[in-house]
């Protein structure tokens, strides 16, 4: 069930099919490769290995800009996926969960 232009419709079935497509090993490999390219691009731009990024931020050798935050996130995701973990669409960032937000 696709739209006229081949797009997957925004329905429960469409969302399920889109998620199923991203679970393929080939899609995972493409995603990991795109992360690797993004990380390498940032390393060239900032002339710094990703492994040094957190320390450079702590030492105030580099400013925390949106690009730097995206680099750090891409690097952390790449490391996680390289260690066999699954990609997550979102990370908990200190925001309350629904249950704790209701309780308060």
Q: Examine the pLDDT at 104 and tell me if it is beyond 60.
A: no
CB 43 within 8 A of CB 49: yes
User: What's the CA gap between 28 and 58, in Å, rounded?
Assistant: 32
Burial class (CB in 10 A: 0-12, 13-18, 19+), 35: buried
Q: Examine the pLDDT at 59 and tell me if it is beyond 90.
A: yes
**What predicted TM-score, i.e. pTM, was given to this entire model?**
0.59
4-43 pLDDT per residue, tens: 555 555 666 656 666 666 567 777 788 888 889 999 999 9
Task: Give domain limits for the chain.
Answer: 12-87
65-96 pLDDT per residue, tens: 999 999 999 999 889 888 766 545 434 444 34
């Amino acid at each position: 069930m696709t739209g006229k232009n081949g797009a997957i419709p925004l329905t429960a079935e469409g969302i399920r099919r889109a998620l199923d497509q991203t679970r393929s090993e080939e899609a995972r490999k493409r995603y990991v490769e795109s992360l690797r390219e993004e990380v390498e691009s940032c390393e060239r731009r900032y002339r710094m290995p990703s492994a040094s990024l957190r320390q450079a931020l702590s030492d105030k050798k580099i400013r925390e800009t949106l690009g730097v935050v995206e680099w750090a996130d891409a690097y952390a995701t790449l490391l996680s996926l390289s260690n066999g973990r699954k990609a997550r669409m979102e990370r908990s960032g200190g925001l309350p969960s629904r249950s704790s937000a209701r309780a308060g």
